[in-house]
Amino acid sequence: MRRAHTVEQVRSAEADLMARLPEGTLMQRAAGGLAVALGNFMGGVYGRRVVLLVGSGDNGGDALYAGEKLARRGAQVTAVLLSDKAHPAGVEALRLAGGRIGDADELAHADVAVDGIVGIGGRPGLKPEALAAVRRAEQHGVPIVAVDVPSGVDVDTGETPAEHVRAALTVTFGTHKVCHLIDPAASACGPVHLVDIGLDLPDPAATALQGPDIRALYPVPRGESDKYSRGVLGLLAGSAQYPGAAVIATSGALAGPVGMVRYVGPDAVAAEVRAEHPEIVAGEGRVQAWAIGSGLGDELDLPRIRALLDAEEPVVLDADGLKALDESGDHDGILATPHAGELGRLLGVERSAIEAERLKYARVAAERFDVTFLLKGSTTVVAAPDGQVRVNTNGTPWLATAGSGDVLAGLCGALLAAGLNPLDAGSVGAYLHAAAARLASAYGPVTAMRIAGALPEATRRILDRRD
Ligand SMILES: NC(=O)C1=CN([C@@H]2O[C@H](COP(=O)(O)OP(=O)(O)OC[C@H]3O[C@@H](n4cnc5c(N)ncnc54)[C@H](OP(=O)(O)O)[C@@H]3O)[C@@H](O)[C@H]2O)[C@@H](O)CC1
Ligand SMILES: Nc1ncnc2c1ncn2[C@@H]1O[C@H](COP(=O)(O)OP(=O)(O)O)[C@@H](O)[C@H]1O
Ligand SMILES: [K+]
């Protein structure tokens, strides 16, 4: 599991550790890891041209000491000091190792620019001189490696309200920060390389599941399982207007861990679902969970949905079904799966505001409605009412195709029916959905049905430890 901590948590863990270590130890650990990562990034050190963009704090100190280590191994290192307070001991160390102090013109010939402008002490945005240097690097096509975080992003929220660095690689220390996991900032990080500096950390502010976590959580049938004990999902979806949504959501559900799917909807739609999936059973019966909402259109029956929400079976609530949510209901066991537009309508907020502050609004919704919210989009955020947050970081923009949300709703419903709680069902579902999209798209266009079709193989690869 990838864990992300807040700046306050990192500062406190850092203070505890620094009290037990000689001064400067942590910065040397950070700079050592950064220098190695830079060498790997450049494919060598000797003769490489490195430009350090150095701000006023310890983030610049990390860059300077990493530059010192690279200069000792034969790199041509130039520091651009963006503040007259730039870490004095670091500047001296770089000079002694043969590095130089220069200006942003050096970027014209650089192999890499190192963003040591600000780290976890930074406010969002870049000052004019820093912004000009960053633009210069971009104009010359020089890749930027960010130290700890891309300068200018909001570290604790992942928001990017102002200008910021767009990194080709981010080298971070001790733990991930929230901005590494949540868009729009996460997209500005590039791959994130974590350097262990020995911090002892509390429970994280957000987590991201990885392959081993999926293996641990996925409900694999046992020897004594039968189709009922594996879980039966009721699917209330589709309409004359949107029959395809029912077919697609059923495809997602059948590609999950359930033993059976019961489809509930108009006869004509049931016939289409059965034609594609002869395995389904049409009509009501006992179920362990519901997936409600995909493509309901004219069939939207809010009193019926509210009755199902009040019953004890857990529910995935998607698309139009979300209209049945209210703040006063007793909503134990519900996973709501809106995209930004739908969440905006529920909260009375513009879609663009939700996209800019994904973490905040997922949390607000979970608290206000007392249900688990899975906010779809470039990074999927799953927020539980108890404050836990999981983020899915393996998505691909190819997922943005009509009907892919219906696949996810069906899959998450199947995971709920098989016994996972809403937080686990949402986060495991989002991970597998994205893994299937990657497999099916292979970096090219993909349709929702092909994503559903790739789900069993994507799941198999993860369970077999091949991914
Ligand atoms: N924690 C750890 O475990 C370890 C931490 N380490 C490293 O230390 C880093 C944190 O260092 P830090 O605390 O000195 O803060 P840092 O981010 O360099 O900013 C400093 C100053 O920048 C300024 N400033 C603010 N916003 C700005 C802006 N937008 N544009 C321009 N300037 C801006 C502001 O000064 P002001 O402008 O207010 O005078 C602020 O005080 C951390 O990210 C990691 O790299 C490792 O070495 C070891 C282990
Ligand atoms: N830029 C993106 N990067 C990664 N995943 C995305 C992106 N845009 C959308 N998605 C994912 O694609 C799916 C789209 O779902 P949704 O918006 O409900 O579409 P539909 O209603 O057409 O099924 C969601 O799982 C969402 O997280
Ligand atoms: K930085």
ipTM of the complex: 0.92
Domain termination site, one of 163, 192, 208: 208
Question: Could you tell me if 199 and 218 lie in one domain?
Answer: no
Q: Among 349, 235, 287, 339, which Cα is nearest to 322's? A: 339
- Structure-token match 């949905």, residue found: 305
**Last residue of one domain, picked from the residues 177, 208, 239:** 208
Q: Using a 6 Å cutoff on CB, does residue 100 contact ligand 1?
A: no
Q: Are 295 and 263 contained in the same domain?
A: yes
* Co-location of 248 and 184 in the same domain: no
> What's the rounded Cα separation, in Å, for the pair 353 and 347?
11
For 101, the token pair is: 């102090």
Q: Is the dihedral of CA 299, 304, 309, 313 positive or negative?
A: negative
- Match 């430009």 to its residue by tokens: 51
Ligand nearest to the CA of 337: 2
Residue nearest ligand 1's atom 48 by CA: 27
Verify that 300 and 440 share a domain, yes or no: yes
Tell me, yes or no, whether 188 and 239 share the same domain. Answer: no
How many whole angstroms separate alpha carbon 302 and alpha carbon 322? 9
Q: Is 155 in the pocket of ligand 1 (CB under 6 A)?
A: no
Residues 248 and 139 grouped into a single domain: no
Do 120 and 77 reside in the same domain of the chain?
A: yes
Q: What is the mean pLDDT of each run of 10 residues along the chain (467 residues)?
A: 97 94 95 98 98 98 98 98 98 98 96 98 98 98 98 97 98 98 95 96 96 96 88 97 97 97 97 97 94 95 95 96 88 93 98 95 96 96 97 93 97 98 98 97 95 98 83
Looking at the fold, whether 263 and 202 belong to one and the same domain comes out as: no
Is 144 annotated in a binding site? The answer is: no
Pocket test for ligand 2, best of 248, 335, 401, 408 (most atoms within 8 A of CB): 408
Judge if 293 and 204 occupy the same domain. Answer: no
56, 80, 149, 172, best to mutate for ligand 1 pocket (most atoms within 8 Å of CB): 56
Q: Are residues 217 and 144 in the same domain?
A: no
Alpha-carbon distance of 230 to 419, in angstroms, equals 8
Q: Residue 367: which CATH number? A: 3.40.1190.20
Q: Kindly list the distances between the CA atom of residue 90 and the CA atoms of 85, 99, 114, 431, in Å, as whole numbers in the listed order.
A: 11, 11, 15, 42
Answer whether 341 contacts ligand 1 (Cβ < 6 A).
no
What CATH number corresponds to the domain at position 45?
A: 3.40.50.10260
Query: Domain of 16?
Result: 2-208
User: 15 and 30 in contact (C-beta within 8 Å)?
Assistant: no
Q: Closest Cα to residue 450, out of 412, 399, 376?
A: 399
What is the predicted pLDDT for the residue at 226? 86
158 and 221 share one domain: no
Ligand 2 center to residue 424 CA distance, Å? 19
Kindly report the three-state secondary structure assignment for every residue of the chain: CEEEECHHHHHHHHHHHHCCCCCCHHHHHHHHHHHHHHHHHHCCCCCCEEEEEECCCHHHHHHHHHHHHHHHCCCEEEEEECCCCCCHHHHHHHHHCCCEECCHHHHHHCCEEEEECCCCCCCCCCCHHHHHHHHHHHHCCCCEEEECCCCCCCCCCCCCCCCCCCCCEEEEECCEEHHHHCCCHHHHCCCEEEECCCCCCCCCCEEECCHHHHHHHCCCCCCCCCCCCCCEEEEECCCCCCHHHHHHHHHHHHCCCCCEEEEECCHHHHHHHHHHCCCCEECCCCCCEEEECCCCHHHCCHHHHHHHHHCCCCEEECHHHHHHCCCCCCCCCEEECCCHHHHHHHHCCCHHHHHHCHHHHHHHHHHHHCCEEEECCCCEEEECCCCCEEEECCCCHHHCCCCHHHHHHHHHHHHHHCCCCHHHHHHHHHHHHHHHHHHHHCCCCCCHHHHHHHHHHHHHHHHCCCC
One domain, residues 327 and 183:
no
**Residue 198, C-beta contacts closer than 8 angstroms, at least 6 positions apart:** 17, 26, 29, 174
Give the pLDDT of residue 72. Answer: 98
Burial of 427-437, coded b for 16+ CB within 10 Å and e otherwise, reads bbbbbbbbbbb
Collect all residues with Cβ–Cβ distance below 8 Å to 338 and sequence separation of at least 6. Answer: 318, 322, 346, 365, 373, 374, 375, 376
Best mutation site among 294, 343, 399 for ligand 2, i.e. most ligand atoms within 8 A of its Cβ?
A: 399
Cα(334) to centroid of ligand 2, in Å? 20
**Cα of 210 from ligand 1 centre, angstroms:** 30
- Among 188, 208, 228, the domain-final residue is 208
- Is 372:338 a contact under the CB 8 Å cutoff? no
Cα 409 off chain centre by: 18
Q: Please tell me the total count of domains within the chain.
A: 2
